[in-house]
Amino acid sequence: MNTVDPIRDYGKLKDIEEYLKRTSERNWLLFITGTNTALRISDILPLRVRDVRNKQTLTIKLEKTEKVHTIQLNKKLRKAFRAYCKDKPPDEYVFKSRIGKNSHIKRGQAYNIINETCLMFGLDNIGTHTLRKTYGYHFYEHTKDVATLQAILGHRSPTETLIYIGKHQESVNKSMNSFEL
């Protein structure tokens, strides 16, 4: 199974954010939405201005599980959505495609945006799921609260969550590296 990695290096994460903010506000907002909500790209791309404008929370039906999910938008996202959506009509897609009248960018375009940008910063094994994994990795590094992270990500067990964010493998590698006979 081919999986992607989170962006573990906090400095690179911030450098990527700054680069995207300078070069494309839409792409910056896409990136920070993924890294600040833990939503899958399939749940981010169809967002409309009315879903996020002046909202404290975001309530959506998740595509994968079809469950209704409410998440708290942090201050950074509320401010970014407020500024970006200020003059846009409510029915417009937040991550509007330049192709078509009012359609959102597709998963392949989101992949290209994320992958090409991360490659410029020396990161590989990156995809759209990197954003969700990056949220999980840094949430865990900051809190060490695997139970809450498990709930946020909708996983069945703490082990599944640690494997998902790559912490399980880091722990195995560290243990194996320090063990000698």
Residue 33: CATH number of its domain: 1.10.443.10
Q: Which of 91-109 are b and which e, b meaning 16 or more Cβ less than 10 Å from the residue's Cβ?
A: eebbbbeeeeeeebbeeeb
Q: Judge whether residue 1 has pLDDT over 60.
A: no
Range scoring the smallest mean pLDDT among 18-22, 89-93, 102-106, 175-179: 175-179
Q: Judge whether residue 2 has pLDDT over 90.
A: no
CA atoms of 15 and 20, how far apart (whole Å): 9
Q: Helix (H, G, I), strand (E, B), or coil: what is residue 64?
A: coil
Tell me if 121 is assigned to some domain: yes
Per the model's pLDDT, the better-predicted residue between 84 and 170 turns out to be 84
Range of the domain at 16: 10-178
Tell me if 1 is assigned to some domain: no
Handedness of CA 8, 12, 16, 21 (dihedral sign): positive
Tell me if 5 is assigned to some domain: no
Average of pLDDT values for 4-25?
Answer: 97
Tell me if 163 is assigned to some domain: yes
Tell me if 3 is assigned to some domain: no
Identify whether the C-beta of residue 153 lies closer than 8 Å to the C-beta of residue 39.
no
Q: Enumerate the active-site residues.
A: 40, 64, 129, 132, 155, 164
Tell me if 17 is assigned to some domain: yes
Number of domain units in the chain:
1
Largest CA distance in the chain: 67
Tell me if 2 is assigned to some domain: no
Tell me if 4 is assigned to some domain: no
